[in-house]
Structures are given as structure tokens and as C-alpha cells.
Amino acid sequence: MTMEGVHLLEQLQTPALMVSRGQVQFANSAAKGLLGAHIVGEDVRIAIRDPKAVAAILSEDGGSARVSGLSTGGSVWEVDCRTIGPNERLVSLYDLSERVSVAKSHADFVANASHELRTPLANVIGYVETLMNPKAGGDEAVRNRFLGTIRHEAQRMQALISDLMSLSRIEAVKHEVPSDRVDVVALAHEVAGEFRSGARVSVTANRADAVIAGDRGQLSQVLRNLIDNALKYGRAGGPVEIAVEAARTGWVLVTVRDEGEGISPEHLPRITERFYRADTSRSRAAGGTGLGLSIVKHIVERHRGRFDIESRPGSGTTASLMLPLKET
């Protein structure tokens, strides 16, 4: 291999190896970082301990293979081998982990969404078929009870579809930095006033206004979702406290606190995942779609902010978001 070729491979961020007669003759810095500096001079079967990858490297015409766990346990890599001379191979290693992870996330999302829709839809169909029976449909009390259930299940599907569309819209603009002038203090008062149980929802702030660069509609949705959660899962009749605190560090902290039963520690790391519920039966009974906190997280991330939830069983829950104040 020429010095020019060595220099060129060394500049690549993609891990690359030169293999001659089954032995690693050269590895660039990226390859050494991935597999270890000791691989130079080793038999390729020891350097890359995967039968499919080794078979591709040692084959007459080269080839490619997908390898799992080359760097970490869940990683996925493509080993691509090209013949460049008699008994000489150029081996390139491509990290597919993120692509595979995204594909799996999309597949899981579709499966979960289908499952969430399938259950209420099956209930609607079942009750409608029952009402089509003259005996059940002719009984006014039974008919009204069944129609109430059908209405509830249809509203569940409507709410789920609405949240799915919200997620889709948020993801469509996630790379666009929002630029509207939004006063978080005024917005908190406005959204709190939308709830009929407004007496239970209070707003405090450490100054008259706190202006950020944001998307007013999306930030309204964040506050609406957090207040709605606090009212659903907080102590019955208990208060929901919203606090807005602007700091000299250039950030504004917004917290929404309830006095509910709280959330067990094992659920907190996953609470913002799509369709994850700490209490499945209670969430569905309250009309939850399992997407509310995921929507909140995505919106806050688009605003270059931070979102967190603190909770202990019996001590209520506090959802907090930090957003950068608009530079003046």
C-alpha cells in the first residue's frame, strides 16, 4: 500500500482496514479506536470475531456482512470488503446503529398506535353489533348505557388521532428554531384560565413578564397538557400550582405541581416515551392517550429547553421546563 493511500485512509472518519493474506496490515485511527490498536498484525479472524464478516473479507470477490455488537452490545455495523489487488482487501466499517434504532422506533410506534386504536375500535364494533339485536336495542336503559360507552371509546380514538397529528406536526418543524415573541407569564395565566376548575389552578411569577423566542401555539399546548395531567392525576379537588421564575442566568423556569399520589421511581426514566403509562388502567379511564408527555418533551427540545419530572409516591408530582429567555 502506498504512502498516499495510507495518508488518505488515515483522514477518513470511517473505520478502515487493509488486509493482506488474511492479516491486518494497516488500520486507520478510527478503526483502532473501534477495535483496538493491537489489531495491526493480527489475523483478521481475531481482529473481527464474526464468522459472516470474516467470510466476506476472505472471499475471492469480497462482499459485505452485517455485524452486531462490534462496539457496544446494541450496536449494528456493516462490514464492506473490496478487492484491490491479489490477496489484498480494503475493509470499511459503517455504523448502522442509529439507522436501525430509528427504523425500530418507527416500527414500534406504528405497532403501538395500531394497538391503541384497535381496542376502542373493537369495543365500538362489539357494542354496535349488540345494539343491532332487537332485544338489546329495544331496551332504552341498555341502549343508553351502550351508546355512552360507544361515545367514550370514539372520543378516545379522536383524542389519540389528534395527539398523533400533533406529534407529526411537531416533528415536521423540529429543526426550525421558533422566533415568535412569547411572554411566558401572560401565557401561563391565559392557559390556566381556560380550565373551568380555574379556582384550583393558580399562577405565581417572580416578575411581571418573561419573554422568550418561541412558538406560542406549541407552548400553549405544553402548558395545557401539563395542567390537564395535574388535574387528572392530582388529588381530587386539590390545587394545581404553576410557578414562573425568570433567573439572571438567562433562563426561565416553569413548574406545574400537583398533590396527587405521585409516580414510582422506576417509571420516571420512561415517562416521556410514546404510549408509556405508569398506571395503564387509570390513564385510559381518565382519557389519557399516552402521548401527552412525549409531545411536551418534543416541543421543549425544539425550543432548546430542558424538561424534567420530579415525583415521589404520596408527595405529588412536579413537571418543570427551562427555556432560554429572549436576548434583549
Task: Please tell me whether residues 328 and 186 are part of one structural domain.
Answer: yes
Task: Please tell me whether residues 66 and 206 are part of one structural domain.
Answer: no
pLDDT mean across residues, the chain = 83
**Ranges 28-32, 47-51, 69-73, 179-183: which has the least confidence:** 69-73
Task: Please tell me whether residues 132 and 86 are part of one structural domain.
Answer: no
CATH number at residue 110: 1.10.287.130
Task: Please tell me whether residues 181 and 314 are part of one structural domain.
Answer: yes
Which of residues 95, 114, 139 is at a domain's end?
A: 95
Confidence of residue 253 (pLDDT cuts 50, 70, 90): very high
d(CA 83, CA 69): 25
285-304 pLDDT, tens digit each? 555 677 889 899 999 999 99
- 227 or 72, greater pLDDT: 227
pLDDT score at 299: 92
pLDDT score at 285: 53
CA angle 36, 16, 84 (to 5 degrees): 135
Task: Please tell me whether residues 16 and 119 are part of one structural domain.
Answer: no
Task: Please tell me whether residues 200 and 319 are part of one structural domain.
Answer: yes
d(CA 29, CA 15): 7
Which of residues 172, 203, 221 is at a domain's end?
A: 172
Task: Please tell me whether residues 52 and 116 are part of one structural domain.
Answer: no
93-107 pLDDT, tens digit each? 888 877 776 666 666
d(CA 174, CA 172): 6
Confidence of residue 86 (pLDDT cuts 50, 70, 90): confident
- Is the pTM for the entire model greater than 0.75? no
Its domain, for residue 26, covers 3-95
Q: Is 163 helix (H, G, I), strand (E, B) or coil?
A: helix
Task: Please tell me whether residues 167 and 181 are part of one structural domain.
Answer: no
Between helix 292-302 and helix 216-233 the angle, nearest 10°, is 150
Q: Is 231 helix (H, G, I), strand (E, B) or coil?
A: helix
For residue 94, the one-letter residue type is: Y
54-69 pLDDT, tens digit each? 888 888 777 888 888 7
